[in-house]
Chain A
Amino acid sequence: MAEKKWMPRWFYQLASPRWCYQITGRLLPWFSVAALLLLIGGTVWALAFAPADYQQGNSFRIIYLHVPSAILAQSAYMLMAVAGAIGLIWKMKVADMVLKSAAPIGASMAVLALATGAIWGKPTWGSWWVWDARLTSMLILLFLYLGVMALNSAIENESTAAQASAVLALVGVVNIPIIKYSVEWWNTLHQPATFKLTEKPAMPVEMWLPLLVMVIGFYCFFAVSLMQRLRNEIIWRERRAGWVRELLNKQ
Chain B
Amino acid sequence: MSFNSFSEFLSMGGHGLYVWLSYGLGAAILVANLVLPKLACNRLWIEQKRRLRREEEVR
Please give the residue numbers on chain A whose beta carbons come within 8 Å of chain B beta carbons, in ascending order: 39, 43, 47-52, 57-59, 61-62, 65-66, 69, 105, 108-109, 111-112, 115-116, 119-120, 122-123, 221, 224-225, 228-229, 231-232, 235-236, 239, 244-245, 248-249, 251
Contact = CB atoms under 8 A, between A and B. Distances in A.
B1 A52 contact: no
Nearest to A59: B15
Interface string B28-44: 01101110011011001
A248 B19 contact: no
Contacts of B18: 59, 62, 119-120, 122-123
Contacts of B13: 52, 57-58
Contact of B19 (A58, A115, A221, A231): A58
8 contacts: A62-B19, A112-B25, A112-B29, A119-B25, A120-B22, A221-B33, A236-B44, A248-B48
B52 to A, nearest CB: 5
Contacts of A116: 22, 25-26
B7 to A, nearest CB: 13
Contacts, number: 94
Nearest to A62: B22
Given A69-B26, A232-B44, A236-B44, A49 B12 contact: no
Contact of A48 (B2, B29, B38, B48): B2
A248 B47 CA distance: 10
Given A59-B18, A116-B25, 4 more contacts: A62-B18, A65-B23, A69-B26, A232-B40
A249 B52 contact: yes
A108 B29 contact: yes
Contacts of A65: 22-23, 26
Contacts of A48: 1-3, 9
A225 B23 contact: no
B59 to A, nearest CB: 13
A112 B22 CA distance: 8
A57 B33 contact: no
A45 to B, nearest CB: 11
B21 interface: yes
Contacts of A120: 18, 22
Contacts of A115: 22, 25
A123 B15 contact: yes
A48 to B, nearest CB: 6
Contacts of B48: 235, 239, 244, 248
